[in-house]
Chain A
């Protein structure tokens, strides 16, 4: 054998060597190299080393753990129970960490009220952790600084103020952390004139005030939708954005459960003036003139009182013009019949209306049944009256030390003077984590860590305490407020110490636990604990407080409804690209807010989609917004979303690909959307989100909205409808009555396939499948963001969305059905159907997509050449194509990519994989434990976080699995069965709780009134 030839392995070099056994193959062998060969080799090595040395490429250090933490196994995820800090609701969250990096947030099944659900905002708040624009450290007078300097400045100021007995005000949003509250009290105690002002940008203050009047207790009761058989909601978007959506959705769902032999479907009526997510799920939706909300409430109260046999205090309001008596009578009847099992809620910010609501609930015996006052909610504690006072003080410039945490008053309060006032205030301390409108005007900024970086605690509902534990070393030089306060109090302690101290003294006594250690450890492990709630003394219902309400005078102008969106809420997440690109569950518009008008109103004004209109209130700043035509909205209402127009959102100028004809997501220096907060009101009545007398004036200009769905009806445009009119059997629905008689009610008559042209492929080991219950799904879009986080789905920017190229693997189709001015709405999650006879697979020329032996439709990215034929041939249009090289250049954000999922290259097709990485993980775990995969053990990302548990995933081979049972359920159907593509994803028919006449398939005159 030749002497100077290179060889890859000892075996290759000398075939006589035994191939078996490592030890043998590693046996030392004489190198077959002569002197010349050796010189050659060494010469090359030296030269090579020199060359490498010369190159000036940056040195990428990969440093292994010096001391391997035993809980971190490379390639294996570690989970921490924590509490979501996305909003004040305080849902339980599980943090999935890979190699010490949080890469996914999921709901915590063991959490008392969120029960495993986690909303879109919660899911997306993970991205906030890796936000490259967070403060890297404390700031003093607008420049980078150190903690010592800042502390000196603050403590110095504190000294002055205490000396001069000056005014100290701490402005925060709802504080649910006992420890924080404790620190705040202690901190403020040292001043002679100190006040802690709490306000919620999305205020429910009126409810608390109303209970102050009726129950002598300023408290936000905990609504138990699950216990209610009849729910009447006046504009409360409790499934979407109101107070604690995940909790409410989970609870609501438990009251609407068709599984098993005794189906239960609560009746839900929504009386609202704009189309909210909750309204879109209601069994009965009444479009209410906002001016007559009080009136309607009063009339309902009167009727219920009648039924209750008590006298309705005061006179009966004049008959409402919009609401027929019949509807009201029906509602009253239903409420009364279900007394003790019925609930009335209202999002109104008028405490007089809220008093009426309390009165109704009192009559219906809701208190103690569907309304919990023993364990009230702490999720909204804002007091707008106090806020108004503070505003005056600030205006007068009489606040000597102002500390602001968790809120952005300059942005979200309707006080033009505030910005100046804050600037001029002697000393303002902000705890903002990144630059916002208020922090920009603060003297000192003490940035708080992201909730995934720090210890925290929370009592969102009385008696439900939960822990937030750090899942990663702080990425920035930050300090939570309680730590700062403790420093300024002169007794610096770490958050952990402070919390444990507080828990030892305040929480432990409320438990039966023997040792603090064990209680603490259990709570940290589980994330939460149920403890006794402080007893509240509720005074008997003050009937005298009830006063009747008439109709507010309505002029010919519009009423402006300001509402939060699922994604952006009050705007605190406006810097989160996932949420910006998350289609609104109802309008499906991304990246902008807009003026929603009813079809009639739009027609009257002669404007259409994306025409720009100017909203004017005499003597106030006017706004220009593009129009969105929203069926089901009141004709005299214009609805605008809050939370947009945040400072610094022009960072998304660079979002999405750049090319010849691309348009930026937002112009440089501009903001995403328009800030409508200046039009909220703040006065004696507290904060208001409604303005009457608004003029809507067409400007003649247009502005394109980026929507992920541009055709909204289930039936094709009327003029194109074949003779019999076409209502595609995509959504199958029935009403409760029908369903109770016949479980397969609502099924259209379609061809069924007895035999096939060819034999089927057998799936003998596993056959993964998914079922989605349309009766449960509320369309809250938690699954969309969950999937985005799990599968490294890129953000593509407004222009690409406008070109219909969004990349979400799971989308939620929202269809209207029936009368276009007041349609039924339905939400349908849509992802790859993993058809057994997949049309996409047959047409791929290079076998880049094919079927696995477990019934999965697999996409092989590195084989795909991108003909897009598969996408064309997909009946469900769920395939997504990488039109460009989508940006993954934010190094910090990349830390959050899921290492189990490939980041896709330009020019390849991608789509839902049913979270194949999770399936594999589940199988590996099962194998390593020498057992079969248990049903429900493997959960897809979308399924895991669904607050309504609408999604079931499992193995069809196992006849006992839930999904197998559901596939056998008469309510189960697949879309376009007649195509015989045999989808592995099916749906459970939508069942509405309403009389048979109005429901089911579209009636004739509804069909006629369709427009495309």
Chain B
């Protein structure tokens, strides 16, 4: 066929799809029955989630003492998990917002799932600051609501309060962003599902979408604003603020100015890896190989490689600053990280985050799915340990040697960590089952992107056309005629 006769680029979507085909492919998982693989995965995650819930309820009933913390190490697993999940949550918005800005059109295959991942990750993250409190039932006290205690408001100087605002804003905006992106697809589903509860739900949530260009026009603007003006700075701010929890403290190893960029870099790093892991699973289980092509994997592994260097440089910088500052306490903390009693965690971190990603220099590795799968999992292990190292090793040997202590997690803590993964995967699997995990409306837009001249150009010319002769525009139309005849 002529169309494939002169491809400008490797197509984003394999299998030479038509829009109708796209609709069918992507709606398939929603309409058919769930695969046994899906059921297996779902049951496993549900059980883990249950285990986690039991652990948490026991902890809330008995007391935080059921965690391995002590008077020296006030935070460990809890906040480690929190930062870890927030980090995971970053790739979603990054992919959909920043890549959108950069006109990376390959994002269309992954952004929907990535955004969903963001939501679930932030949910997991949000749990920990609440359950890590000594009196979680009073968690609502961190909200500034009018009250009769003076009125006693909250302390807006506390980074924890900044977190409250950052995380909730991040969750809300991500949710909105995700939903807005979902509307046209919901409409599509509405119009192809046979009447029934699901159909009614689709039509309820698709807000009466009818594809009118006037709406598409605003929709595009809004989408651009959400992505460019809001989500992008937001995603950068959230992890910066999370890093303030540590950066604004006085504790050597926490009190570090490079934390904001360092944390954001790390977040993108871990998020990307998690997206990759999920994508590799999804394209197999959901039979979406045509949409999540090797090319996507390849591109994302490149991003992973880049961000791994960001964190690597951050690690190096920390050591340099500690050395250069001449601050004895600072120096000690970092030597202690690398050589102290908890050095093992530090070296796990370095191996997973700096060494492992280097295999992505090789094209063959980037395109070997099993390799990528394992690597990305290792990277997330490493990123979990990065937070563990920062939080725990800094605390366990701080100012007064008399207070130095060590830390071992309890079963409850391990179960809670597992539970958070249970929650995450349960949500994600349900999402794969009941919502289009790839943005149809956007995929359709890029089906033959590789046949077209770059967008900016085209738009510009069309604008010119509005008042004068559309020479360029005509040529486009002409070109198409040739193709058709």
Q: Which residues of A contact B (CB under 8 A)?
A: 657, 659-661, 709-714, 716-717, 719-722, 726, 728, 730, 800, 803-806, 811, 813-815, 828, 830, 839, 842-847, 863-869, 871-873, 875-877, 879-885, 905-909, 975-976, 979, 981
Q: Does B152 contact A (CB under 8 A)?
A: yes
- Which residues of the partner chain B approach A981 to less than 8 Å between Cβ atoms? 250
Do B70 and A803 touch (CB < 8 A)?
yes
**Also in contact, A805 and B71, with CB within 8 A (given A844-B155, A845-B160, A885-B63):** yes
Contact of A720 among B69, B248, B340, B405 (CB under 8 A): B340
Do B132 and A721 touch (CB < 8 A)?
no
Do B159 and A843 touch (CB < 8 A)?
yes
- Which residues of the partner chain A approach B65 to less than 8 Å between Cβ atoms? 657, 659, 800, 803, 805, 883-884
| Least distance between A977 CB and chain B CB atoms (Å) | 12
| Least distance between A246 CB and chain B CB atoms (Å) | 26
- Which residues of the partner chain A approach B397 to less than 8 Å between Cβ atoms? 711, 716
**Also in contact, A865 and B63, with CB within 8 A (given A709-B402, A843-B249, A872-B75):** no
Do B401 and A866 touch (CB < 8 A)?
no
Contact of A839 among B70, B75, B141, B249 (CB under 8 A): B249
| Least distance between B248 CB and chain A CB atoms (Å) | 8
A662 CA to B7 CA, complexed, in Å: 68
Do B134 and A659 touch (CB < 8 A)?
no
A-B contact pairs, 6 of them (CB 8 A): A804-B72, A842-B157, A875-B400, A876-B400, A877-B400, A908-B134
**Also in contact, A722 and B74, with CB within 8 A (given A710-B404, A843-B249, A865-B133):** no
Do A730 and B400 touch (CB < 8 A)?
yes
Contact of B142 among A710, A845, A880, A882 (CB under 8 A): A845
Q: Mark B50-94, 1 if CB is under 8 A from A, else 0.
A: 000000001000111110111110110000000000000000000
| Least distance between B395 CB and chain A CB atoms (Å) | 6
Do A866 and B400 touch (CB < 8 A)?
no
Interface-located stretch among B292-300, B328-336, B436-444: B328-336
A647 CA to B453 CA, complexed, in Å: 93
- Which residues of the partner chain A approach B141 to less than 8 Å between Cβ atoms? 846, 863, 865
Q: Does B164 contact A (CB under 8 A)?
A: yes
A800 CA to B64 CA, complexed, in Å: 13
A657 CA to B329 CA, complexed, in Å: 36
Do A866 and B64 touch (CB < 8 A)?
yes
Do B336 and A720 touch (CB < 8 A)?
yes
Do A979 and B152 touch (CB < 8 A)?
no
| Least distance between B371 CB and chain A CB atoms (Å) | 37
- Which residues of the partner chain B approach A830 to less than 8 Å between Cβ atoms? 400, 402
Contact of B66 among A660, A813, A845, A865 (CB under 8 A): A660
B interface bracket (residues with beta carbon within 8 Å of A): 35 or more
| Least distance between A120 CB and chain B CB atoms (Å) | 19
Contact of B154 among A814, A846, A883 (CB under 8 A): A846
| Least distance between A774 CB and chain B CB atoms (Å) | 14
- Which residues of the partner chain A approach B250 to less than 8 Å between Cβ atoms? 839, 873, 875, 979, 981
| Least distance between A728 CB and chain B CB atoms (Å) | 7
Contact of B75 among A844, A868, A885, A909 (CB under 8 A): A868
Do A722 and B328 touch (CB < 8 A)?
yes
Chain B positions 132-166 with a Cβ under 8 Å from a chain A Cβ: 132-136, 138-139, 141-142, 149, 152-155, 157-161, 164
**Also in contact, A661 and B410, with CB within 8 A (given A726-B328, A847-B155):** yes
- Which residues of the partner chain B approach A828 to less than 8 Å between Cβ atoms? 402
| Least distance between A664 CB and chain B CB atoms (Å) | 15
Do A660 and B412 touch (CB < 8 A)?
yes
Do B135 and A908 touch (CB < 8 A)?
yes
Do A866 and B155 touch (CB < 8 A)?
no
Q: Does B398 contact A (CB under 8 A)?
A: yes
- Which residues of the partner chain B approach A722 to less than 8 Å between Cβ atoms? 328, 331-332, 335
Contact of B411 among A661, A839, A843 (CB under 8 A): A661
Question: Which A residue sits closest to B66, measured CB to CB?
Answer: A659
A714 CA to B155 CA, complexed, in Å: 36
Q: Does B35 contact A (CB under 8 A)?
A: no
| Least distance between B364 CB and chain A CB atoms (Å) | 42
- Which residues of the partner chain B approach A979 to less than 8 Å between Cβ atoms? 250
**Also in contact, A877 and B71, with CB within 8 A (given A719-B339, A864-B135):** yes
A992 CA to B245 CA, complexed, in Å: 43
A803 CA to B251 CA, complexed, in Å: 22
Chain B positions 212-265 with a Cβ under 8 Å from a chain A Cβ: 245, 248-251
Q: Mark B311-334, 1 if CB is under 8 A from A, else 0.
A: 000000000000000001101100
| Across the A-B interface, the 10 shortest Cβ-Cβ residue pairs | A866-B134, A907-B134, A883-B65, A868-B74, A813-B402, A804-B70, A877-B403, A907-B135, A845-B160, A722-B331
- Which residues of the partner chain B approach A879 to less than 8 Å between Cβ atoms? 71
Do A846 and B142 touch (CB < 8 A)?
yes
A646 CA to B395 CA, complexed, in Å: 39
Do A711 and B64 touch (CB < 8 A)?
no
Q: Does B399 contact A (CB under 8 A)?
A: yes
Do A845 and B158 touch (CB < 8 A)?
yes
- Which residues of the partner chain A approach B153 to less than 8 Å between Cβ atoms? 847
Instruction: Among A713, A716, A800, A975, find the residue whose CB has the most chain B CB atoms closer than 10 A.
Output: A716
Question: Which A residue sits closest to B134, measured CB to CB?
Answer: A866
| Least distance between A449 CB and chain B CB atoms (Å) | 38
Do A716 and B160 touch (CB < 8 A)?
no
**Also in contact, A873 and B328, with CB within 8 A (given A843-B159, A906-B63):** no
Do A804 and B74 touch (CB < 8 A)?
no
- Which residues of the partner chain A approach B403 to less than 8 Å between Cβ atoms? 709, 877
Other contacts beyond A710-B404, A722-B328: 17, CB < 8 A: A657-B62, A716-B332, A719-B339, A726-B328, A728-B329, A728-B400, A728-B401, A803-B65, A804-B70, A805-B65, A806-B71, A814-B402, A844-B155, A846-B154, A863-B141, A865-B134, A875-B399
Do A720 and B133 touch (CB < 8 A)?
no
A907 CA to B136 CA, complexed, in Å: 9
- Which residues of the partner chain A approach B132 to less than 8 Å between Cβ atoms? 867-868
Do B154 and A868 touch (CB < 8 A)?
no
Instruction: Among A714, A720, A811, A866, find the residue whose CB has the most chain B CB atoms closer than 10 A.
Output: A720
| Least distance between A756 CB and chain B CB atoms (Å) | 15
| Least distance between A725 CB and chain B CB atoms (Å) | 10
- Which residues of the partner chain A approach B75 to less than 8 Å between Cβ atoms? 868-869, 872
Question: Which B residue sits closest to A842, measured CB to CB?
Answer: B157
Contact of B339 among A712, A720, A865, A876 (CB under 8 A): A720
Do A907 and B62 touch (CB < 8 A)?
no
**Also in contact, A844 and B158, with CB within 8 A (given A883-B63, A883-B65, A907-B64):** yes
- Which residues of the partner chain B approach A712 to less than 8 Å between Cβ atoms? 401
Contact of B134 among A730, A844, A872, A882 (CB under 8 A): A882
A661 CA to B55 CA, complexed, in Å: 13
**Also in contact, A868 and B412, with CB within 8 A (given A719-B339, A845-B164):** no
A347 CA to B45 CA, complexed, in Å: 69
- Which residues of the partner chain A approach B404 to less than 8 Å between Cβ atoms? 710-711
Question: Which A residue sits closest to B333, measured CB to CB?
Answer: A720
A884 CA to B406 CA, complexed, in Å: 20
Question: Which A residue sits closest to B329, measured CB to CB?
Answer: A728
- Which residues of the partner chain A approach B72 to less than 8 Å between Cβ atoms? 804, 877
Question: Which A residue sits closest to B407, measured CB to CB?
Answer: A804
Question: Which B residue sits closest to A804, measured CB to CB?
Answer: B70
| Least distance between A944 CB and chain B CB atoms (Å) | 24
- Which residues of the partner chain A approach B406 to less than 8 Å between Cβ atoms? 710
A376 CA to B412 CA, complexed, in Å: 62
Question: Which A residue sits closest to B323, measured CB to CB?
Answer: A722
A842 CA to B249 CA, complexed, in Å: 9
Do A868 and B134 touch (CB < 8 A)?
yes
- Which residues of the partner chain A approach B152 to less than 8 Å between Cβ atoms? 847, 863
| Least distance between B190 CB and chain A CB atoms (Å) | 44
- Which residues of the partner chain B approach A713 to less than 8 Å between Cβ atoms? 401
